[in-house]
Chains A and B, each alone.
Chain A
Amino acid sequence: MKGLNTALGAAGLAAFLALGEVVPRVGIVKEAYFPPTSRIASAFWTELNDGAFWSALGDTLTGWALGLAIAVGAGIAAGVLLCVVPYLREATASTIEFLRPIPSVALIPLAVLLYGTELKSVLLLVVYASFWQILIQVLYGVQDVDPVAEETARSYGLGTWARVRHVLWPSALPYVMTGVRLAAAVALILTITAELVIGAPGLGATIMVAQSSQAVPEMYALIVVTGLLGLIINVGARTVERRALAWHQSVRGEVTV
């Protein structure tokens, strides 16, 4: 069954690529704007042999990873703090609900004013967008601590820190992991957006350059690269999630009794 699904998936992808090859060639769409698959593939190959491409990829990954790391760290710290300190959560709820829906891209002018085209501009946008994803999940996760588990910990004399570490954190972990997975995807979108719009060095800026210099196949090749990045990030995040939550009912599967 699994083999069949893989085969179907591969066949579907092959058909899609073939369509991309045929449609421009027979003239249904303009070849100048929609180059056939083979041209994109060869442009892709050229990019892979270009040092500038790799440094752009490096810039993008740096912005993504650094931004995500800051957002995860800050989101978890803030989330736990808001829940552990009494009344803090209630006091901050309205502010969070106001700040959270602000689209990160609306902060682009601010980022340019503050940092120009530096990495810091990218980080500002990425951290702002990813931070809320993590924070909200941590807040939900901490709320989901089982009262019986909490009472058990208290009855055995576990102090506040021990309860945070042994009960609250593992209970919230499934939520945190979901938050990290969502934030990883959002962080990539914002990294590319910032590079595209602000012109900070990276894949986004390279796409922009390719577009403005009429290098259409190269532009498509770079877009494919960003797609592949997103795919790899999602698969990676899922793998980490499965490892960290091997005990959780969503992962552990059949139980032998």
Chain B
Amino acid sequence: MHALLDVSGLKKVYEGSGRRVEAVRDLTFTVDAGELVCLVGPSGCGKTTLLKCMGGLLTPTAGEVLLGGRKVSGPPPGMAFVFQEYGRSLFPWMRVGENVELPLKQKDLSKARRRELVADALESVGLTDAAGAYPWQLSGGMQQRVAIARALAYEPEVLLMDEPFAAVDAQTRADLEDLVRGLWRERGITILFVTHDIDEAVYLGERVVVLSASPTVVQEQLKVDLPVERDQLHTRVAPRFAELRTHVYEQIQAAKRGTLPVQDRLTKTDTPPLH
């Protein structure tokens, strides 16, 4: 049985104007169907590069990405992208409904089906009434909800989210995190969520992939053994949550210093030892 998403030996080197930047050195990991995986790493470690390679927006220098066993060579139809810059990713010349519908027009769907998908997606993110508004008439959090609705309506197998909540305020962020977990549980889609926020990664993910500093390799993979039912109030103060986030934090600090704790590297622990 293959994993839904299979990244192997991925390497990306940017070359241009006499500079050679190795953004991603050698990344190998898999995501199973229906998983919610968080990728976390120090800033500037090539998370966005990785995600763009996975989404077929960038061609990797070496290695490959397989989606459902097929090599990704351009944006695959089974993938949807949610960008950090919602304000630039939504088209200001289109109303919310049109923004959500636009990608569907590329698919061979009837008008009735498209409408149904748009209405359903907007309802899922709690924005049924906003279909006729322009994105810039909405708050930042609402705009990112629209971007999520657009991705949902596209009915992807995999949802790639690139630091989607980095630009919203803390309260909105908590709401959106719960929204993502809710959608994941309701719809059973596979989500790969990139963040630089350790708490967010542990709170959201079923598994956390910790990346090293650039040039990037996988520092550690960690199963989050928190209950499926999570809420902002209790989960975040649970002792296990604290342990996990401390562990990830240490890993990231180690990654920044460029030292790989030997025993972690060898054991590739699924769960960190209880402290």
* B-binding residues in A (CB < 8 A): 146, 148-149, 151-152, 154-159, 162, 166-167, 170, 173, 247-249, 252, 255-257
Contacts and interface: CB of A to CB of B under 8 A. Distances in A.
Interface string B81-111: 1010100110111100000001101100000
Contacts of B103: 156-158
Contacts of A166: 91, 94, 102
A163 to B, nearest CB: 10
Contact of B89 (A152, A162, A252, A256): A152
A247 B98 CA distance: 14
Contact of B83 (A152, A158, A159, A247): A152
A168 to B, nearest CB: 11
Nearest to B89: A152
Interface of B: 52, 55-57, 75, 77, 79-81, 83, 85, 88-89, 91-94, 102-103, 105-106, 134, 136-139, 150, 154
6 contacts: A149-B88, A156-B102, A157-B75, A157-B103, A247-B136, A248-B93
A156 B137 contact: no
Contact of B106 (A162, A173, A252, A256): A162
Given A155-B81, A156-B106, A157-B103, A146 B75 contact: no
B75 A256 contact: no
Contact of A155 (B79, B88, B94): B79
B89 A149 contact: yes
Contacts of B150: 156
Contacts of B88: 146, 148-149
A199 to B, nearest CB: 46
Contacts of B136: 247, 249, 252, 255
A45 to B, nearest CB: 46
A157 B106 contact: yes
Contacts of A247: 92-93, 134, 136
A152 B134 CA distance: 17
Contact of B77 (A149, A157, A248): A157
A148 B84 CA distance: 9
A148 B77 contact: no
Contacts of B80: 155-156
